[in-house]
């Protein structure tokens, strides 16, 4: 029994240390004005022919931090993301839940965190993604993220790419 308790303590300490290290980067800013950030992203997306990806989460969330770290460490995924989207990290924390914005986005937090919302170049919501479907084992999947990023890119949504509709 002492061994089980000792293992539990070691695991708890390790997870606390890992979480503390990951959250030092402060990806999500509780003081950010999400509405203004999205307005700026909409202008940039229009100028660069990109869609907007809102990644909603918080610095308290290991999966939120893990998603950013996974993308940063996979150059092909990061390149695909940056080529097709203007990214806005939207904070959800006790300091700032951005409830007005989340209401407008049809309550994406119902899917857990992180959650991704795709907006078109006009700032109109076109998709909400539960990121649990982008996971593989205890991390994210390069294949699933790549497919997701491609499927919601401006090119994929361009009607001229579908001969049956021209």
Q: Tally the domains of the chain.
A: 1
- In this structure, what are the phi and psi dihedrals at residue 125, rounded to the nearest 5 degrees? -70, 130
Q: Are 106 and 125 in contact (CB under 8 A)?
A: yes
Residue 165: band (very low, low, confident or very high) from pLDDT cuts 50, 70, 90: confident
Task: Note whether residue 43 is domain-resident.
Answer: yes
Domain that holds residue 155: 25-165
Task: Note whether residue 7 is domain-resident.
Answer: no
Task: Note whether residue 93 is domain-resident.
Answer: yes
Residue 5: band (very low, low, confident or very high) from pLDDT cuts 50, 70, 90: very low
Q: Are 48 and 86 in contact (CB under 8 A)?
A: yes
Residue 6: band (very low, low, confident or very high) from pLDDT cuts 50, 70, 90: very low
Task: Please state the rounded mean pLDDT for residues 135-164.
Answer: 94
Residue 115: is its pLDDT beyond 80?
yes
Looking at every residue in the chain, the average pLDDT score rounds to: 88
153's CB contacts (< 8 A; 6+ apart) are 51, 84, 85
Residue in 112, 102, 85 with CA at minimum distance from that of residue 34: 102
Residue 121: is its pLDDT beyond 90?
yes
- Asked if omega into 12 is within 30° of 0 (cis), the reply is no
Percentages helix, strand, coil for the chain, rounded to the nearest 5? 55, 15, 30
Residue 22: is its pLDDT beyond 90?
no
Q: What is the pLDDT of residues 77-113, one digit of tens each?
A: 999 999 999 999 999 999 999 999 999 999 999 999 9
Q: Are 105 and 55 in contact (CB under 8 A)?
A: no
Quote the pLDDT of residue 9: 38
Task: Note whether residue 2 is domain-resident.
Answer: no
Task: Note whether residue 105 is domain-resident.
Answer: yes
Tell which wins on pLDDT, 20 or 79.
79
Quote the pLDDT of residue 163: 80
Domain of residue 30, CATH code: 3.40.30.10
Quote the pLDDT of residue 159: 87
Task: Note whether residue 8 is domain-resident.
Answer: no
Task: Note whether residue 113 is domain-resident.
Answer: yes
Task: Note whether residue 37 is domain-resident.
Answer: yes
Quote the pLDDT of residue 25: 58
Task: Please state the rounded mean pLDDT for residues 46-74.
Answer: 97
Number of residues written out for the chain: 166
Quote the pLDDT of residue 166: 63
9's CB contacts (< 8 A; 6+ apart) are none
Per DSSP, what are the bridge partners of residue 88?
A: 54
């Amino acid at each position: 029994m002492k061994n089980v308790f000792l293992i539990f303590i070691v695991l708890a300490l390790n997870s606390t240390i890992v979480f503390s290290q990951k959250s030092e980067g402060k990806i999500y800013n509780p003081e950010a004005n999400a509405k203004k950030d999205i307005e700026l992203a909409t202008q940039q997306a229009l100028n660069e022919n990109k869609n907007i990806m809102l990644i909603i989460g918080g610095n308290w969330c290991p999966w939120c931090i893990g998603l950013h770290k996974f993308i940063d460490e996979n150059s092909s995924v990061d390149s695909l993301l940056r080529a097709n989207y203007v990214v806005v990290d939207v904070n959800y924390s006790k300091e700032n839940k951005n409830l007005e914005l989340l209401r407008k986005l049809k309550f994406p937090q119902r899917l857990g965190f992180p959650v991704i919302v795709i907006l078109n170049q006009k700032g109109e919501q076109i998709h909400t993604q539960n990121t649990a479907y982008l996971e593989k084992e205890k991390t994210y999947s390069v294949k699933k993220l790549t497919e997701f990023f491609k499927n919601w890119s401006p090119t994929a949504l361009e009607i001229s790419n579908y001969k049956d509709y021209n």
